[in-house]
Amino acid sequence: MAHIPVHECAQCQKKYVQRKWVCSNCKSTEFHLTEVPGEGTVFTHTTIHVSSSEFAHLAPYTVALVELADGLRVTGRVTGKVEINDQVTCVSNEENLYVFDRVEKAAG
């Protein structure tokens, strides 16, 4: 499982996926880079059939907004089919291009 890099406020520990200059929670300007586990839940998703030339070789492909355990949301490509509320795990993170796999539910 790949981890997701986040910017954490040095004063109140609020985390952001995108780099911030001022914390929206406490107005601090000091941050440090940390990581959170790349496991989360599909919040929403869409399938791209016509893509930019950069990603045309992948079409059709699914992009999902994934809600991580601590409430952060990150967008990434998902291998295979997913539904809202499916559990996923980040399997690749190269230059903040995240790829997620669906976590198979255990037979119960």
Looking at residue 106, its pLDDT comes to: 62
- The order of strands in the sheet holding 31-37 is 15-16, 3-9, 31-37
pTM for the complete prediction?
0.85
Segments making up each domain of the chain, as ranges: 3-102
**Phi, psi (degrees; rounded to nearest 5) at 48:** -95, 120
Contacts of 14 (CB under 8 A, 6+ apart): 8, 23, 24, 25, 26
The pLDDT tens digits for 47-87 are: 999 989 988 998 999 999 999 978 899 999 999 899 999 99
> Considering the chain, what percentage of its residues have pLDDT values greater than 70?
97
CATH of domain 3-102: 2.40.50.840
List pLDDT tens digits, range 3-14: 999 999 999 999
* Average model confidence (pLDDT) across the chain: 92
Closest by CA to 1, choosing from 73, 89, 97, 98, is 89
